[in-house]
Structure 1
Amino acid sequence: MSYSVVKHNIDMDTRKKISARYKRITKAVNLSFWNSISETAHSFYVGSYGRGTAIDTSDLDVLIELPEDEFDHFSSINGNGQSRLLQAVKNAILNTYPNTDIKGDGQVVVIKFSDGMKFEILPAFKNFSVWEWKDIYKYPDTHMGGNWMSTDPKAEQEAMKRKNTESNGLLYDTCQHIRYIRDTKFSSYHLSGILIDAFSYNAIQGWHYLREGEQKSNITESYEEVLLNYYKKISWNGLVTPTLKAPGSNIDIDGTKGWEILGKILNYMI
């Protein structure tokens, strides 16, 4: 029996709540760092919501760009300026949500609302790459005494969007369906959204939903079997964890914590 990939769209009421909170958070950080009351400037969705692969249980990841002089300021602080930066962003958001659970955690400020919705705010600085001729973002990492890391979320979003168009919507639905099974059947395990998306991006190959007037092929192998066979192929039947890169940005993904669980989910789908 095959569990067909189905849609898991976020309902409109939840989207409205996400949007309202996104705007309030953005305004709070803009007021503190940019002296601006804009609810949308300097920020955009990243993570699964930004890549179009989120479901209603997904965390909401938001990148908020800060002024360059703040990078200089926190870089010059002795003793983990990255941690101090997260605390400054946390305090800015507390001005708007004083009774909400907010804390700095590694690279992000985590906001846990009482209804279970969770936002992760990534403070970042725009940095133009001459070699790649595009903007990338530097963000703080508080581990190991503090350092700066780089990300290119817009390239990932564009790559996912292109592939989803090529697959006639199948890519997004695949990523969302795997998330749904993870959250309903394997919720005690860790499997990151970017690992799901990167795997699906590559495993989908030429598969797509039928377009108007298109005839079904004579292939006997199901789509779910194709996903599992690709998983086995690149991992020597699950014995090793392959090196995957994020679509578009080509940033290495650490799959050591989630690769085995991904295999269990793919087997469950079949």
Structure 2
Amino acid sequence: MIMTSYVEKHKDVIPQSVREIVTRRYHTVTKAGNRVFWNTESENSHSLYVGSYGRSTAVQTGDVDILYCLPESEFDRFQKASGNGQSRLLQALKEAIKNSYPTSDIRADGQVVKIQFSDGMKFEVLPAFHKIGYFGEEQSGFRYPDSNMGGNWKSTDPKAEQDAMKAKNKASNGLLQATCRHLRVVRNEHFSSLKLAGIVIDSFVYEAIGGWVYLEPGQHSESSAGDFEMKLNNYFKEHYLWSGSLYAPGSNQVVDLDTSRDALGKVLEYLVK
């Protein structure tokens, strides 16, 4: 349990033993896809952690998100497939993973393949393709399938988001990451019944943190305890209490704030109560 509502560091929220399980499963899922789609036995090529775990702001491993990149030839194949090619792609990735986890509950659901493990951990695997430029060159970002409403393709750029978060975390001397994790702890312990997406937390803190930083040992600040938390709360009220568009760091993609707005406001109010 947290002892104060003020932001504090949560370095070892996810135990090393749990991280090792995540890594082992990540390698198994990646290898399963590579065997089918790339004809290799690699355990780490063509995939990356995304979501809160990939941005290093997670405080628990109930859900782990992975982006798995397929060859461009597979995009052409499923794009030309009759019917819902996006749904067919999800099914193909599901079957590839099922070869390595035959007894696990594995389902294709909308945009991802979900793997429910017996210990409660859940992986969500997003199949994706590199964006391709006019002359056939790989570009930043990925295309991924959405099998809803007959099927379509959407775009994402998690690497740009991760790079932006990493840079600002370094510039803030770790305050960005600590704040994002702390808000998750408050959410989990006091507002678990409300929906508050991790990307909403990270995008808001990235924007609202401004020039605040953790001081080095021996440095002094004119700010008082609680000033930073009050600044975050006031920023939310000024910019997002009733409306306003939130954008993901680095990628600048629109983040759905509407479904998380109330919960974010309550978490921020808790910091200053």
Shorter-chain TM range is over 0.9
Displacement of 1:105 in angstroms is 1.4
Displacement of 1:55: 1.1
Contact 1:44 1:62 (8 Å CA) reproduced: yes
Please point out which of 98, 106, 112 is paired with 2:110: 106
Q: Quick one: distance in 2 between partners of 1:58 and 1:204? A: 27
Q: Count residues with an aligned counterpart.
A: 267
Instruction: Report the CA distance shift for 1:95/1:3 in structure 2 as closer, same or farther (over 3 A).
Output: same
Which secondary structure does the structure 1 equivalent of 2:213 belong to? coil
Select the residue among 113, 119, 135 that pairs with 1:115: 119
- What is the identity, as a one-letter code, of the residue corresponding to 1:43? S
Alignment partner of 2:113: what SS?
strand
Matched with 1:45 is: 49
- Which residue of 2 is the match for residue 258 of structure 1? 260
Q: What amino acid does structure 2 have at the position aligned with 1:104?
A: A
CA contact (8 A) 2:130 2:139 kept: no
Contact persistence 2:246–2:254 (CA under 8 A): yes
Residue of structure 2 aligned with 1:164, choices 169, 177, 181: 169
Structure 1 residue runs of 5 or longer lacking an equivalent are none
- Choose the corresponding residue for 2:37, options 33, 38, 48: 33
Counterparts of 2:70 and 2:166, CA distance in 1: 27
The answer to whether the Cα contact below 8 Å between 2:113 and 2:126 also exists between their aligned partners in 1 is: yes
Which stretch has the larger CA shift, 71-80 or 122-131?
122-131
- Indicate if the aligned counterparts of 2:49 and 2:67 stay in contact, CA closer than 8 A: yes
- Aligned-pair identity (%): 53
1:19 aligned onto 2:28: no
- Is the partner of 2:115 in helix, strand or coil? strand
Is the contact between residue 131 and residue 138 of structure 2 (CA under 8 Å) also seen in structure 1?
A: no
Residues 222-233 of structure 1: pairs in structure 2 closer than 5 A: 222-233=227-238
Residue in structure 2 matched with residue 82 of structure 1 by the alignment: 86
Q: Partners in 2 of 1:195 and 1:169 — Cα distance?
A: 19
State the secondary structure of the residue aligned to 2:145.
strand
- Secondary structure of 1:24's counterpart equals helix
TM-fit CA distance, 1:78: 2.1
The alpha-carbon distance between structure 1 residues 218 and 244, as it changes in their structure 2 partners (threshold 3 A), is closer
Cα distance between partner residues in 2 of 1:96 and 1:6: 40
C-alpha distance in 2, partners of 1:172/1:58? 19
Alpha-carbon offset, residue 133 of structure 1: 8.5
- AA aligned opposite 1:225: M
- Alignment counterpart, residue 245 of structure 2, candidates 226, 243, 249: 243
Aligned CA RMSD, in angstroms, stands at: 1.9
Cα shift at 1:96: 0.7
**3-state secondary structure, aligned to 2:266:** helix
Matches within 5 A, 1:75-224: 75-129=79-133, 134-218=139-223, 222-224=227-229
Q: Tell me: CA distance 1:215–1:130, structure 2 relative to 1, closer, same or farther (3 Å).
A: farther
Name the amino acid aligned to 1:29. G
Query: Structure 2: which 5+ runs fail to align?
Result: none
The 3-state SS of whatever aligns with 2:59 is coil
